[in-house]
Structure 1
Amino acid sequence: MVKDILRTYRGFFVLLGLCFVMFFFSPLLGRKVFAVALQNILFMLSVIPPVFILVGLFDVWIPREKVVKRLGEASGMVGIGIALALGALAAGPLYAAFPVAEVLLRKGVSLRNVWIFLGAWSTMKIPMLLFEIQNLGLVFAASRYFMSFLGVLAIAFLLDRFLSLEEKNRIYLPFETP
């Protein structure tokens, strides 16, 4: 059991060891590193639990059939629009999107729409757009947003086109319901 924990969190323990070495050679810098690491851990602990609660509620309350109808393989432009809206209206860091994407895959959402959702979450958030309009101007913000829109769609459609059915099935396999 201890071996499994060490193997699973090997990277974490290596970085923790490096922090201790840094603290030993440069105590001031080591304190700063630990303070930043603690701040990041506390932030993650404030974001992840609410995300898991919301994802769990979505998983239980929304029937698979409704999700497949609106975001599945045959959803067409409606599914693309919903995936874009879900990603663009989301709040929080990108790592919070992956549990949502997992539930979407388990609910039968097409890979294309999951990629659109993740792309929109990472590049097309509405709060980011408002910040850019205020600080960088409307022309820049609109240009960047439009190019992000095109990029997200292009990447999703290219991935959908060039992945073989076998590769897609391998991605879906861990998320199939028993």
Structure 2
Amino acid sequence: MKKLLRRYKFLLVLLILNILLVVLYPSIGQKSVVITGNSLLEMLSIIPPIFILLGLLDVWVQRDTMIKLMGEKSGFFGISLAFFLGSAAAGPLYAAFPIAGVLLKKGSKFSNVLVFIGAWSTTKIPLLLFEATSMGWKFMLTRFIIDIPGIALIAYTTDKLLSSKEKQYIYDNAVSMEKHI
């Protein structure tokens, strides 16, 4: 029971806070409940397809293939593939992390996974199209051109700052997370 409570502590705290808001400040509490419910429904509509795709990725793509495409010796091709996968993705950033875990489990280079997450968060194609139509092509292209070296710099710096022991810990957690899902 303790393990279950510990696992869902954030959900329980959110539930208690919403109840307190409804009791103490009914109008704010009702808005909070509606926002929380909408966020929960949105997340529940996104997570199942992501996990289905993760299962397919895990089964269809062999570890050797992933190592060849995005592993330690993948070079510029691995970086480009990680960038393309992140940019072509759809959905909120929290959906990128389970995919990043599978990429790590399959043997992708750590910096390539960071490029994937960076591209997902800043250079998604739907986001770029929205920016181009609402803020103009010049703004979108300027931001895109600035983001590319920024993503590479963050990935490279993070990769170099972490020790091999810390990276191994991250890889091990990616493998062990499969047992919890």
**How does 1:56-67 map onto structure 2 within 5 Å?**
56-67=55-66
Any unmatched runs of 5+ in structure 1?
none
Residue 28 of structure 1 corresponds to 27
**How does 1:50-89 map onto structure 2 within 5 Å?**
50-89=49-88
- 1:99 and 2:94 equivalent? no
Residue 159 of structure 1 corresponds to 158
CA RMSD for the aligned pairs? 1.2
Question: Any idea what the Cα deviations from partners look like across 1:139-174, whole Å, max 9, x if unmatched?
Answer: 111111111111100000111222222222222123
Q: CA deviation at 1:175?
A: 3.4
Residue 173 of structure 1 corresponds to 172
**How does 1:86-165 map onto structure 2 within 5 Å?**
86-165=85-164
Residue 11 of structure 1 corresponds to 10
The 1:4/1:50 distance shift into structure 2, 3 A limit, reads same
How far apart are the structure 2 equivalents of 1:80 and 1:138? 25
Give the residue type in structure 2 aligned to 1:128: L
Give the residue type in structure 1 aligned to 2:147: S
TM-score by length of 1: 0.95
Give the residue type in structure 1 aligned to 2:59: V
How far apart are the structure 1 equivalents of 2:5 and 2:161? 38
How far apart are the structure 2 equivalents of 1:81 and 1:12? 38
Any unmatched runs of 5+ in structure 2?
177-181
How far apart are the structure 2 equivalents of 1:33 and 1:100? 30
Q: CA deviation at 1:20?
A: 0.7
Q: Identical aligned pairs, as a percentage?
A: 46
Question: Any idea what the Cα deviations from partners look like across 1:25-71, whole Å, max 9, x if unmatched?
Answer: 12222111111111111111100000000110010011111110010
How far apart are the structure 1 equivalents of 2:91 and 2:72? 27
Query: Which aligned runs of 4 or more in structure 1 are off by greater than 3 angstroms?
Result: none
Question: Any idea what the Cα deviations from partners look like across 1:44-100, whole Å, max 9, x if unmatched?
Answer: 110000000011001001111111001000000000000000000000000111110
Q: CA deviation at 1:176?
A: 4.7
TM-score by length of 2: 0.93
How far apart are the structure 2 equivalents of 1:120 and 1:38? 29
